[in-house]
Every structure is written in structure tokens, then in C-alpha cells.
Amino acid sequence: MTLLQLAGVARSVRLPDGANLDILTDIDLEVEVGDHVSIVGRSGSGKTTLLNILGMLDEPTAGTVTFEGREVRGLSARARDLARGRDIGFVFQQFNLLPGRTALEQVVMPLMYSQGTMFWRRRELAAEMLERVGLAGRLDSKPEKLSGGEQQRVAIARALVRKPRLILADEPTGALDIDTGATVMALLDDVATESGAALITITHDLHVAARARRHYRLDGGVLRPADLELAFAASTLTVDASAEAALGLSVADAPAAPNGEG
């Protein structure tokens, strides 16, 4: 069953000198319920712009976005805000936790806008979610007292506590070391799978991308299916700028080439 569909989506902006800048061009993408999709692209390729459109934070200048069978353009601002709060969870590179609030308060926050049992049981649900991400003992800790990996686990609990149908992650491991990043990513995958949410991860890290079931790359605003095996193969050879450029991927986080032999 299709959850989210983009057809012919483009985004351009008018620059101060009057010229048009095409950031995204003719993007088609279909995401099924429970799907895990990765999108890799180098800096400036349009990843955040695309994520903002997927998350109903921004509108395309052409094409259509359909979420749960409804065209997003047709929704009022209020309907869109409600749908976003209920159905979409965001995980960001810099965690975006509120300073001075405890882990429990951070995760309760999205439930303040829910109704019925979800609202009345909000503290219990938030505590359960924090337990699920391994932070049962840290409910009262503020972000300042948590490590980067722990802060991202709070952010994951916050993104998932309302049981969204879609999770959008923008460089979720970008601020973490490799091992912590791998642990956090495995957790994000697991909790998304458990709750039946679709997960779209935007990253420049091939190892993070490889966790998804379907892979795309974004290159100069154009989205294409990506062959990650090819990209990994290239990254274990002597790092060759032309191979990297041909793939349109960053291999910066791939394992170091064994003494340039290949």
C-alpha cells in the first residue's frame, strides 16, 4: 500500500539577481507503508530541500505530493499541521532537543497535541518509549547531561512516541562517532519496523544508507535509484575522484582503502 507518492516534483527559487535556481528536478518517488528508503547525496544536492517537501514543511513549485491518498496541495495549513504532527516524526543531525527539559519532558511534548488515551497516558507512553530506546534510567536527565548518542535516542523516542506512519531522518548519525552512529541507526531501524512506520533516511554515509531496503541517490537535484554495491566497491579501491564523481556519492565515511591497493 502506498503511503507517500511524489510525481514530477520540482523546487526552484528566484535568486536576488532575478535568475531562477532549480534545486530539485522532476522527482518521482513512491514509498510504501513500512518501507525503509535511503537517499544519499553530497552537500548541496538538494537533500534537505527534498526532506522539507516530504515532511510537508515546504511545497514544490511543480508536481504533486500525495500522502495517504490525499494531495498535500489541497490541504489547508491547519490540516497539514495536524497531519504532520500525527503522522510524521523527524530526526535531525543536531538532535534539536529543548535545553533545560528532561528526557521525559522532551518525549511527552508531541503527545500534548494528541487526543484521548494518548493524551491522558502521555507520561506513561513517553516513559515506555524511553525505555524502548534504552534510557529507562535517564528519564530526568537534561540534554546537557546526556552524551550525543543518548541525546539522539531521546530524539528517536520523541519522533516515535505518537506512532507516526513516516519517519524522516536527516543525517541522523552525522554528529555521532562511527560506533555510536551504527548503534543508533540499528535502533532507529528496529523501532521503525516495530511500529510499522516507513523510514526515509537522508545521509552521505554509505553504511547508514545500506541499512535501508531501497536506495536512491540525489545528484544535482535529480533522484535516481542507487547501486550501493557499486559504490562500496569503488570506495574500497584507491579513492579515485572520478569514480566518486561518477557515482555522485561521498565515500568519505567508507572504510579506509588498504594502502591504496585495489
Q: Which residues bind ligand ATP (CB under 6 A)?
A: 13, 21, 23, 41, 43-49
CB 225 within 8 A of CB 192: no
Residue 235 touches Mg ion, criterion: CB under 5 A: no
Residue 152 touches Mg ion, criterion: CB under 5 A: no
Q: b/e for 197-229, b at 16 or more Cβ within 10 A?
A: bbbbbbbbbbbbbbbbebbbbbbebbbeebebe
Query: Of 11 and 36, which CB lies nearer to ligand ATP in the complex structure?
Result: 11
| Residue 46 binds which entry of Mg ion, ligand ATP, none, CB below 5-8 Å type-dependent | ligand ATP
Beta strand extents in 111-209 (DSSP E only): 166-170, 198-203
- Of 236, 244, 188, the residue nearest 212 (C-alpha): 188
Query: Of 59 and 68, which CB lies nearer to ligand ATP in the complex structure?
Result: 59
Query: Of 49 and 106, which CB lies nearer to ligand ATP in the complex structure?
Result: 49
The CB-of-211 to ligand ATP minimum distance in angstroms stands at: 19
Measured CA angle at 169 (ends 163, 173), to 5 deg: 120
The CB-of-172 to ligand ATP minimum distance in angstroms stands at: 13
Distance CA 155, CA 259 (A): 39
Q: Give the position of cell 560506533.
A: 179
| Residue 106 binds which entry of ligand ATP, Mg ion, none, CB below 5-8 Å type-dependent | none
Distinct helix (H) and strand (E) counts, the chain: 10, 10
Residue 203 touches Mg ion, criterion: CB under 5 A: no
The CB-of-203 to ligand ATP minimum distance in angstroms stands at: 9
Distance CA 217, CA 227 (A): 9
Distance CA 100, CA 135 (A): 17
Residue 48 touches Mg ion, criterion: CB under 5 A: yes
Residue 201 touches Mg ion, criterion: CB under 5 A: no
| Residue 63 binds which entry of Mg ion, ligand ATP, none, CB below 5-8 Å type-dependent | none
CB 37 within 8 A of CB 201: yes
Query: Of 43 and 242, which CB lies nearer to ligand ATP in the complex structure?
Result: 43
**Cell numbers found for residue 197:** 512506520
CB 184 within 8 A of CB 169: no
Query: Of 49 and 114, which CB lies nearer to ligand ATP in the complex structure?
Result: 49
The CB-of-92 to Mg ion minimum distance in angstroms stands at: 10
Query: Of 14 and 145, which CB lies nearer to ligand ATP in the complex structure?
Result: 14
The CB-of-48 to Mg ion minimum distance in angstroms stands at: 3
| Residue 13 binds which entry of ligand ATP, Mg ion, none, CB below 5-8 Å type-dependent | ligand ATP
The CB-of-139 to ligand ATP minimum distance in angstroms stands at: 33
**Cell numbers found for residue 222:** 535529480
Residues at the site binding Mg ion, with contacts judged by CB under 5 A: 47-48
